[in-house]
């Protein structure tokens, strides 16, 4: 099941090469190590641990959302059932810890190894808290902006920030640089999730694998939906609140909601917020003592986050 989820084999355990993941967090971990003056290979164990934790969360997320496809293939729970998939996700989480323990075998001090393990454990817990909040918001209409920001900071930002801090730690960087890169990671997390929010409403199904309006259908309280629920004109707001109080939404409900979002130009408003976050991230990066080459690579990452389509 684990090899299947990671794209190494098909469901019959035959070799496959269908890994569709972005390896975004892994790449950030390695890049942060290089930015902090380390050799990229020094971050391998930390990067692998981050990728495994991320994939643990995806297996469980698919069960919680009842998603039947991941990376254009049936999800683990869809093939083997939810009970076995939960165990598979738990196993990935444990393997991540084992991978991080290899730091001491590779010559890192016990102090650095312990610091890395503590950081990964804390941020993993924050990620789980964020996922809980995201699910709990589905049945609420009174989610505040503050609650939403806390949710995405935990659900998405925690592991991305962790990836960058871990990379800097494996370069044996000073605390102030690892903290700064971790802060950049929080901004990247906000950008990543806000872009996900846009794709969850307006994404191209042939690219994302999910139908347009899928987040509306699930009554997920993403930024575009929350903005409409708070700021729509009175008549539309009243209708939206009636729609989101329903047990399940019809195609007409989804279409109406999308029309309101379009009329309010919420897609453009969300894009503007992502742009603001990118400006803050680049401001921090520009003030960091990192090589010009990695500075340019961080700039490429910001552009990727602004433009990504899946």
Q: Considering the domain boundaries, does residue 213 fall inside one?
A: yes
User: Cα separation of 56 and 123, whole Å?
Assistant: 14
Give Rg (Cα) of the chain.
Answer: 20
What residues make up the domain containing 48?
A: 2-291
CA dist 201 to 39, 215, 225, 248, 262, Å?
Answer: 40, 6, 9, 17, 11
Whether residue 309 is contained in a domain is answered as no
CATH number at residue 71: 1.10.600.10
Tokens of 258: 């999308």
Is 299 inside any structural domain? no
Q: How far is CA 269 from CA 2, 230, 275, 290, in A?
A: 39, 14, 10, 32
Q: Is the dihedral of CA 226, 230, 233, 239 positive or negative?
A: positive
DSSP secondary structure letters along 6-51? TTSB-TTS-B--------HHHHHHHHHHHHTT--GGGGHHHHHHHH
Q: pLDDT 10s per residue in the chain (310 long)?
A: 999 999 999 999 999 977 768 899 999 999 999 999 999 999 999 999 999 999 999 999 999 999 999 988 999 999 999 999 999 999 999 999 999 999 999 999 999 999 999 999 999 999 999 999 999 998 899 999 899 999 999 999 999 999 999 999 999 766 789 999 999 999 999 999 999 999 999 999 888 878 899 999 999 999 999 999 999 999 999 999 999 999 999 999 999 999 999 999 999 999 999 999 999 999 999 999 999 999 999 999 999 999 998 8
pTM summary value: 0.94
The number of distinct structural domains making up the chain is 1
Q: Is residue 308 part of a domain?
A: no
Task: Flag whether 263 is in a domain.
Answer: yes
The CA distance from 38 to 167, in Å, is 9
Non-local CB neighbours of 290 within 8 Å, separated by 6+ positions: 35, 36, 177, 298
Residue 307 domain-assigned? no
Closest CA to 197 of 142, 123, 274, 139: 274
Contact 154, 129 (CB under 8 A): yes
Judge contact between 169 and 46, C-beta under 8 A: yes
- Tell me, yes or no, whether 32 lies in a domain: yes
Is 305 part of any domain?
no
Q: Can you tell me the distance from the alpha carbon of 256 to that of 258, in angstroms, rounded to the nearest whole number?
A: 5
Compute the distance between CA of residue 173 and CA of residue 170 in angstroms, rounded to an integer: 8
* Helical axes 82-100 vs 44-65, angle rounded to 10°: 160
């Amino acid at each position: 099941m684990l090899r299947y989820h990671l794209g190494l084999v098909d469901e019959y355990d035959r070799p496959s090469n269908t890994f569709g993941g972005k390896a975004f967090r892994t790449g950030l971990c390695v890049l942060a190590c290089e930015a902090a003056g380390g050799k990229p290979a020094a971050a391998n164990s930390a990067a692998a641990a981050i990728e495994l934790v991320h994939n643990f969360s995806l297996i469980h997320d698919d069960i919680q959302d009842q998603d039947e496809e991941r990376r254009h293939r049936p999800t683990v729970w869809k093939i083997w059932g939810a009970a076995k998939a939960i165990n598979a996700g738990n196993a990935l989480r444990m393997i991540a810890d084992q991978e991080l323990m290899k730091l001491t075998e590779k010559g890192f001090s016990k102090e650095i190894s312990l610091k890395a393990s503590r950081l990964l454990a804390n941020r993993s817990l924050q990620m789980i808290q964020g996922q809980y909040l995201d699910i709990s918001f589905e049945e609420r209409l009174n989610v505040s902006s503050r609650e939403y920001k806390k949710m995405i900071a935990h659900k998405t930002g925690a592991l991305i920030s962790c990836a960058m801090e871990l990379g800097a730690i494996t370069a044996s960087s000073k605390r102030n640089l690892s903290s700064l890169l971790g802060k950049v990671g929080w901004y990247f997390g906000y950008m990543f999730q806000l872009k996900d929010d846009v794709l969850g409403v307006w994404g191209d199904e042939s690219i994302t694998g999910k139908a347009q309006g899928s987040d509306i259908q699930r009554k997920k309280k993403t930024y575009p939906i929350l903005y409409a629920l708070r700021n729509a004109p009175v008549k539309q707001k009243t209708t939206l609140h009636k729609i989101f109080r329903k047990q399940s939404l019809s195609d007409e409900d989804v279409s109406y909601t999308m029309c309101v979002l379009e009329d309010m130009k919420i897609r453009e408003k969300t894009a503007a917020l992502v742009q603001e976050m990118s400006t803050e991230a680049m401001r921090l990066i520009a003030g960091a003592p990192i090589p010009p080459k990695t500075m340019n690579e961080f700039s490429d990452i910001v552009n990727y986050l602004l433009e990504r389509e899946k």
